[in-house]
Copies of this chain bind each other. A is one copy, B any other.
Amino acid sequence: MATIYQVSEAAGVSLATVSRVMNGNAKVSERTRKKVEDAMASLGYQPNAIAQSLASNRTNSVGLLVSELHGSYFGDLMSTVEHVLKQNGKHVIITAGHVDEKREHEAIEFLKSRRCDALILHAEAVSDDYLKTLVDSKIPVVVINRKVDALDENCFVVDNERGGYMATKAAIDAGHKKIAYISGPLFKKDASDRLAGHKRALQEAGLTFDETSVFEGDFHESSGQEGMQHLQKTFSDFTALVCANDEMASGAMTAAREAGFDIPSQLSIIGFDNVLFSRYLYPKLTTINNPIHAMGEMAAYWVLQHVYDIKSPIPIEHLFEPEVVNRDTLGKL
């Protein structure tokens, strides 16, 4: 593999000059630029990004931490972030934290050790304090889908409370009075916020909240099934079921069907997130759009602007609004 030295020799110029034409920042005369470019082409020269990074203290790469490498939600996030950054000549290094404190921590340390210019984190398990330390250290950090006190400038979040409210409100507006709820793990902020929204909607409509109407799942499909089965026993006769995410809604739909309910005529179901497969479901799932795409985009723009001095084409905002996506699983009563 050719090095810059060989190029400089072939072109009859110094190392510095070759470096200059590569980076295009300093001025080089047309004639020498041509010589150098020819030499590069004939040698098939490819700069060593590692050496560049070491010398320039700039890697042109942004670290992205997601919880999993699979799943619609993260697929969307990864795609979006990569798209925006790549358009601007930056690269993304992706790692997975698997919602485990130790592994998230390791993943972040890995990204730091690779000297990423910035970090975009969908960190769920790591502590607020750790994130604060991170932000206080040199490296620019952005947090997605998690609000950390005193880090508002670095967080991009959807209004989960509002989303939960909207989901339940939609059911109420459709005439439902007895509404069950399958929640995510309540130690997670987004899960508890969504539930809070649900309660607010009930209260506002003068409906009393019943503890037995809630099942705490784990955001996975199977806990949606479980939840549905459990709620039938403890809460029974509800006509609508709000789920804190689409996976659990899908599980609940399966369980409901097995229990003989027609959806939506006998049971309405509302999901949350609007992941890709929610419209593959039958009936197509009515859900709350979680603007993960917009958040990922915004996070990427933030990084471009703050780290690379590339002006964001849209104003940077930190709070995103959820939205009801009306499809076929919410029926009027």
Using a CB–CB distance below 8 Å, which chain A residues touch chain B? 1, 46-51, 53-54, 59, 68-72, 74-76, 78-79, 82, 91-96, 109-110, 112-115, 138, 221, 250, 253-254, 257, 276-277, 280-282
Contact = CB atoms under 8 A, between A and B. Distances in A.
Nearest to A68: B79
A257 B257 CA distance: 17
Contact of A113 (B46, B113, B221, B254): B46
A76 B70 contact: yes
18 contacts: A46-B109, A46-B113, A48-B113, A48-B115, A49-B113, A49-B114, A50-B50, A50-B114, A51-B54, A70-B72, A70-B76, A71-B75, A91-B110, A94-B94, A250-B280, A254-B280, A280-B281, A281-B282
A138 B46 CA distance: 14
Contacts of A91: 95, 110, 114
A82 B69 contact: yes
Contacts of A46: 109, 112-113
Contacts of A54: 48, 50-51, 54
A130 to B, nearest CB: 13
Contacts of A71: 75
A254 to B, nearest CB: 8
A258 to B, nearest CB: 11
Contact of A69 (B1, B51, B78, B281): B78
Most B Cβ at <10 Å: residue of A70, A78, A109: A70
A139 to B, nearest CB: 9
Q: Which 8 A-B pairs have the closest CB atoms?
A: A70-B75, A69-B78, A282-B282, A49-B113, A277-B277, A69-B79, A70-B79, A250-B280
A281 to B, nearest CB: 6
A131 B311 CA distance: 38
A52 to B, nearest CB: 9
A158 to B, nearest CB: 19
Contacts of A281: 280-282
Contact of A50 (B47, B115, B282): B115
A250 B50 CA distance: 44
B115 A49 contact: yes
Given A48-B113, A93-B93, A257-B282, 6 more contacts: A47-B113, A48-B115, A50-B50, A69-B94, A74-B75, A282-B282
Contacts of A110: 91
A49 to B, nearest CB: 4
Contacts of A96: 79, 82
A72 B92 CA distance: 20
Contacts of A75: 68-71, 74-75
A254 B282 CA distance: 8
A70 B78 contact: yes
Contacts of A95: 82, 91
Most B Cβ at <10 Å: residue of A69, A76, A78, A82: A69
Nearest to A51: B54
